[in-house]
């Protein structure tokens, strides 16, 4: 039984490391921001799960399982959310290759929001025009 658990730990750790390696290679080789963002989040979260599962089996202690679950849960929550925010900001700052998108669902929302000034925003050009008239 001990040998089987050691082999299982080795397989889980190697697979987790390979997923992290795949994520790193994807960050370096994919052509645009949106595909790089996908490569940074999808395999990385699964890689962490495999590494943490291997670590939990290797340590053979129930005391570390809640800590590992908390660490993996935080990674599961923060990686996709941060990638989503990076994707939206990259889209708005024209870093996304919009010609390669199959469907551009964000275009309508961005056009609607960018057409009206935000709450509390002032129009700088009209204030400058008033100063030049005086």
Number of other residues whose CB lies within 10 A of the CB of residue 43? 20
Decide if 76 is inside a domain: yes
Decide if 120 is inside a domain: no
Decide if 78 is inside a domain: yes
Domain count, the chain: 1
Decide if 118 is inside a domain: no
Confidence of residue 129 (pLDDT cuts 50, 70, 90): low
Decide if 14 is inside a domain: yes
Decide if 128 is inside a domain: no
Decide if 125 is inside a domain: no
Which residues span the domain enclosing 30?
Answer: 1-113
The tens digit of pLDDT for each residue in 24-50 reads 998 899 888 888 888 888 888 899 999
Chain centre distance of CA 29: 17
The Cα–Cα gap between 16 and 47 comes to 4
Note the pLDDT of residue 15.
96
pLDDT above 90 coverage of the chain, percent: 31
């Amino acid at each position: 039984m001990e040998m089987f658990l050691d082999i299982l730990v080795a397989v889980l750790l190697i697979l987790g490391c390979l997923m992290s390696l795949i994520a790193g290679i994807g960050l370096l080789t994919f052509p645009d921001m949106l595909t790089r963002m996908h490569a940074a989040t999808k395999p990385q979260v699964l890689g962490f799960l495999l590494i943490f599962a291997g670590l939990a089996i290797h340590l053979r202690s129930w005391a570390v399982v809640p800590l590992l679950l908390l660490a993996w849960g935080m990674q599961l929550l923060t990686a996709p959310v941060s990638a989503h925010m990076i994707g939206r900001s990259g889209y708005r700052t024209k870093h996304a290759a919009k010609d390669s998108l199959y469907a551009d669902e964000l275009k309508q929302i961005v056009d609607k929001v960018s057409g009206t000034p935000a709450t509390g925003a002032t129009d700088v050009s009209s204030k400058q025009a008033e100063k030049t008239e005086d």
